[in-house]
Structure 1
Amino acid sequence: MKIHLRFFASVRELVGTAQEVLELSEPVRTVGEVRTLLIARGGNWAGALAPGRALRMAHQQIMCDADTPVFDGDEVAFFPPVTGG
């Protein structure tokens, strides 16, 4: 399964990229599981996406929660609660 990731504002600055295509070799069923997988990378990824950090998520450009299912080809985005233009 392949998904498209997008990162905005301070999350983008911390992880060092605005977007990525992620090929998943292990089963990932939800946006929350994508977040957990990215946190496992450690370093800035763990800090930017930490469970206690104020963070918004979107699936297919619609705000979502951690239980939202993901499918092949989907887009998942992470960003702080307030972003600028």
Structure 2
Amino acid sequence: MLTVRFFARLREQLACEVLEIPCAPGLGTVAALRSALASRGPVWQQALEDQNLLMAVNHSLAEPATPLAAGDEVAFFPPVTGG
């Protein structure tokens, strides 16, 4: 299983904080997972298409090509600004 967490406005847009997803062969990278989630419908597609969206795997920033394995925790979150 993969644990997928959404933070900030993504959590609000999707009305979802956490998902447990079976680790299927087609979900071998962060990009593949993102694409699979976006296919869940228009709201998901809109929320996940943001090119500035940040991703982390097991609490480390990740790139689209970052590989995934069973037991990984993947997080999606918007860029954070402060001042």
TM-score w.r.t. the length of structure 1 is 0.87
Aligned to 1:60: 58
Residue 46 (structure 2) aligns with: 47
The count of corresponding residues between Structure 1 and Structure 2 is 82
Q: TM-score, normalised by structure 2?
A: 0.89
Q: Identity of paired residues, percent?
A: 39
CA RMSD of aligned residues (A): 1.7
- Note the residue ranges of structure 2 that are not aligned, 5 or more in a row: none
Q: Which residue of 1 aligns with 2:10?
A: 11
Superposition pairs for residues 69-80 of structure 1, below 5 Å? 69-80=67-78
> CA contact under 8 A between 1:31 and 1:66: conserved in structure 2?
yes
In structure 2, do the counterparts of structure 1 residues 44 and 69 end up closer, same or farther at CA, with 3 Å as the change threshold? same
1-structure distance, mates of 2:58, 2:19: 15
Q: Contact 1:14 / 1:44 at 8 angstroms: preserved in 2?
A: yes
Gaps of 5+ in 1: none
